[in-house]
Amino acid sequence: MFEKVNPSHPDKLADRIGGAIVDLGYKLQKNPRIAGECLIGHGVCHIIIETSVDYNEKDIKEIVDRISDSKVELDLKIVPQDIYLATNQSEEIKCGDNGIFKACKISDEEVKLTKIVRKLYDENPTDGKYIFDEQTDTFIACQSNIKTEKLRDELAKTGIKNIVVNPLGDWTGGINVDTGATNRKLGSDMGRAVTGGGLHFKDISKSDVSVNVYLHKIANEENLSEVTCKCAIGDKTLRINGKEISYKQITDEAFDYIMNKIGGFEKLAEWGLI
């Protein structure tokens, strides 16, 4: 069983705003340090960023307006990273946090749902949330600003036997109906994988980003049903599949995967790793 939300879901809007701010940080500074949170809804967007980057508020506002597709009031707080955390990374890149991590090879169920949702979103880019249960061949879809009958007709083309569409009927979604916050849809982004923390609105030095992406990469490249590891703040190497891997290699490969395979941190936030 797998749940997927599309890029117009309010939580995904928050993730995408965070991803775009991280992308901008890498344009403004080499090896930036960024950790942020975004809460958006009902006419306001609250953002807190702990960072080494000298951001311009005007640039942040442009990102928020572009992604939210509406004029919202920006409540922005930018502060330096904690001195002890900054010192940990000052001479060489080391693990920035404690955590346990698990990645899994993407399942047929996850692939099937994601393909359906992406096609729906290409044709109807509105707030949507979906569940697929392969065992019972059941698809539950909630999508705003699209007639229920039209959505049902679209899903009927997939051949899925049991379809439940908009149980409460037609509805209007978006940030004037619901709030969105960073990292609330990690199940959608990572499927059965377990993360030690949030995947979004952080630079690559953060283990929540680098280790999750690295494990996902090797699980799928090496056809592994599951791969796990743990880390502690300050670690220079991590033990993965019986091998000691340098944290620098992990961050380098994860960064390359995000930038060249996915297309950047904002793109990572749109659909996650699946």
Residue 102 three-state SS? strand
pLDDT at 262: 98
**Sign of the C-alpha dihedral, residues 66, 68, 74, 79?**
negative
- Please give the pLDDT value at position 113: 93
Strands of 34-41's sheet in order across: 73-79, 44-51, 34-41, 180-181
pLDDT one-digit tens code per residue, 11-47: 999 999 999 999 999 999 999 999 999 999 999 999 9
Report the pLDDT value the prediction gives residue 5, as an integer from 0 to 100. Answer: 97
Domains of the chain, by residue range, sit at 10-85, 99-106+180-271, 108-165
The secondary structure of 8-62 as a DSSP string is TSHHHHHHHHHHHHHHHHHHHSSS--EEEEEEEETTEEEEEEEESS---HHHHHH
Tokens of 128: 């949507």
Please report the pLDDT score of residue 195 as a whole number.
81
Threshold 0.75, pTM exceeds: yes
Reported CATH class of domain 10-85: alpha beta
pLDDT at 61: 97
Task: Give percent helix, percent strand, percent coil of the chain, each to the nearest 5.
Answer: 40, 25, 40
What's the confidence (pLDDT) of residue 92? Answer: 79
Task: Give pLDDT < 50 ranges for the chain.
Answer: none
In this prediction, residue 12 carries a pLDDT of 98
pLDDT at 126: 95
